[in-house]
Amino acid sequence: MKRISTSVIMEMKNSGEKITMLTAYDYSMATILDQAGIEIILVGDSAANVFAGHSTTLPITLDQMIYHASSVVRAVKRAMVIVDLPFGSYQGSSSKGLESAIRIMKESGAHGVKLEGGAEIQETVEKIVSAGIPVVGHLGLTPQSVNQFGGFGVRAKSESEAHTLKNNVHILQEAGCFAVVLEKIPAKLAADLSNHSRIPLIGIGAGMGCDGQVLVVNDMLGLTENFKPKFLRQYLNLHGEIKGAVQQYISDVKDNTFPNTDEQY
């Protein structure tokens, strides 16, 4: 089985085959995604939300990201595993960013890292790339800077914001990113950026014109309750399925129908 590498991802961009990415944070889920044939597994700092119950991604630590990432890496035979550098592990210092990226690569065995931002992280991206570490960028809605924007709304709706975003895609591409995630921006802008970029742009809430798509796996499987933004397609209702199974288990135990005679020694 051929492992997915940055060159495979680049070939997909060039041939027009869409790139698929989903998040995972643990061994069991990563095993399923890998067997299903997903190309990139993102160990997202959205673990802070869906695993730990925080309302933003800010609290998760580098050590916690490494724990999630190493669990995912142990499950994966084919997919490329990309890990988010968490808030506070790279902002404002390119040497700190490089150190954090090296820790992720060494301690988890992942295949690359993702960082949020544009011009302000150019030097950091260059340093990490020159250390031989594949880097994915992340522009548009960047949840680590939610406090600066004051919300999770659609980004780059104005001409000037769109212009800045376009510049930042170019900066990240030239700095050596092999892909960039575009979160929650107008579809027309994302399509235009994808048409003009050498590297693949992977969208979440960025429309059909991107080179690939990414979703938070807990959201697309319906494990998360009460999170239904317009861009999210929910493929299952696991929250309801699991709750039903647990209720059945409770009633079976209470009724003395579990375990039965075949289920004991």
**Contacting residues toward ligand KIV, per CB under 6 A:** 23, 42, 44-46, 84, 181, 204, 214, 216
CB of 261: closest distance to Na ion in angstroms?
50
The option from Na ion, ligand KIV, none interacting with 204 (CB < 5 to 8 A, set by class) reads ligand KIV
> Judged by CB, which is closer to ligand KIV: 137, or 176?
137
Strand partners for 213: 20, 203
Structure tokens, 43: 């160990």
- Any binding-site annotation on 161? no
The option from Na ion, ligand KIV, none interacting with 171 (CB < 5 to 8 A, set by class) reads none
> Judged by CB, which is closer to ligand KIV: 59, or 265?
59
Region class of 237: left (phi > 0), else alpha (psi between -120 and 50), else beta: beta
φ, ψ of residue 240 in degrees (nearest 5): -65, -40
- Any binding-site annotation on 211? no
- Any binding-site annotation on 45? yes
> Judged by CB, which is closer to ligand KIV: 23, or 71?
23
CB of 1: closest distance to ligand KIV in angstroms?
25
CB of 3: closest distance to Na ion in angstroms?
23
The option from Na ion, ligand KIV, none interacting with 214 (CB < 5 to 8 A, set by class) reads ligand KIV
> Judged by CB, which is closer to Na ion: 45, or 219?
45
CB of 167: closest distance to Na ion in angstroms?
22
- Any binding-site annotation on 116? yes
Cα–Cα distance between 206 and 173 in angstroms, integer?
18
- Any binding-site annotation on 95? no
| Spatial contact of 59 and 48, defined as CB atoms under 8 Å apart | yes
> Contact residues for Na ion (CB under 5 A)?
44-45, 84
> Judged by CB, which is closer to ligand KIV: 44, or 212?
44
CB of 236: closest distance to ligand KIV in angstroms?
18
Q: Which amino acid is at 179?
A: A
Q: Which burial class, exposed, middle or buried, applies to 127 when counting CB atoms under 10 A from its CB (0-12, 13-18, 19+)?
A: buried
SS3 (DSSP) at 23: strand
Task: Say which DSSP state 26 is in.
Answer: S
- The residue with tokens 């235009």 is 192
Q: Helical H runs in 90-149?
A: 94-108, 122-130, 146-149
Q: Which burial class, exposed, middle or buried, applies to 11 when counting CB atoms under 10 A from its CB (0-12, 13-18, 19+)?
A: exposed
Residue nearest to ligand KIV (CB): 44
Residues that are catalytic: 183
| Spatial contact of 233 and 204, defined as CB atoms under 8 Å apart | no
Binding residues for Mg(2+): 45, 84, 116
Annotated binding site for 3-methyl-2-oxobutanoate: 45-46, 84, 114
